[in-house]
Amino acid sequence: VDILPVKSKKVKITNRFFNYFVLEDSLGNTAIQKRTAKGIWHNLYEFPLLETSEIVDFDYISNAVQNQVFPVYTILSVEECAEAAVIHKLSHQHLHIQFWKIKIKENIKEGIEFEKIKTFPFPIVIYNFIEKL
């Protein structure tokens, strides 16, 4: 028994689908939030997030933004920031990340200037996106 190779357990990889909303108000401010839940990226910052069960299209996001995610804001425009989702591979999960630029009419309460968001700690995949803004 000691000489036979031990079969290693395969890690089950789960796919998760993150839709990040990059809000922009009339003052040019945006909104970020701190991830307080245990799990990936604990205590790092992110844009408002909608997690879905699959990659979703513009119509789904447009409807969700207006009716569920930001019903208090007047949405001026919704724009997908890239043609394809960014796939960020972690040891036990693959994150399919889409960024959506949302322009709103109202001012964001406690909004942050785009120039200042780089001073907050973000996961590398979000930080790389911010660098391209």
User: DSSP code of 118?
Assistant: G
pLDDT at 64: 97
How would you write the pLDDT of the chain (133 residues) with one tens digit per residue?
577 777 778 889 999 999 999 999 999 999 999 999 999 999 999 999 999 999 999 999 999 999 999 999 999 999 999 888 999 999 999 999 999 999 999 999 999 999 999 999 999 999 999 999 8
Q: What is the pLDDT of residue 8?
A: 79
For the entire predicted model, the pTM comes to 0.91
Task: Report DSSP letters for 48-63, one per residue.
Answer: -EEEESS---HHHHHH
In one letter, which amino acid is 25?
Answer: D
Give residue 11's pLDDT.
83
DSSP-assigned beta bridge partners for residue 9: none
Cβ atoms 69, 21 nearer than 8 A: yes
Residue 109, judged by CB atoms within 10 A of its CB (0-12, 13-18, 19+), counts as exposed
Domain locations in the chain as residue ranges = 14-132
- The CATH architecture assigned to 14-132 reads Alpha-Beta Complex (3.90)
Q: What are phi and psi of 20, to 5 degrees?
A: -95, 135
Q: What is the pLDDT of residue 131?
A: 94
Q: What residue ranges in 32-132 does DSSP mark as E strands? A: 33-34, 45-46, 49-52, 75-80, 86-89, 93-104, 112-113
| pLDDT at site 1 | 58
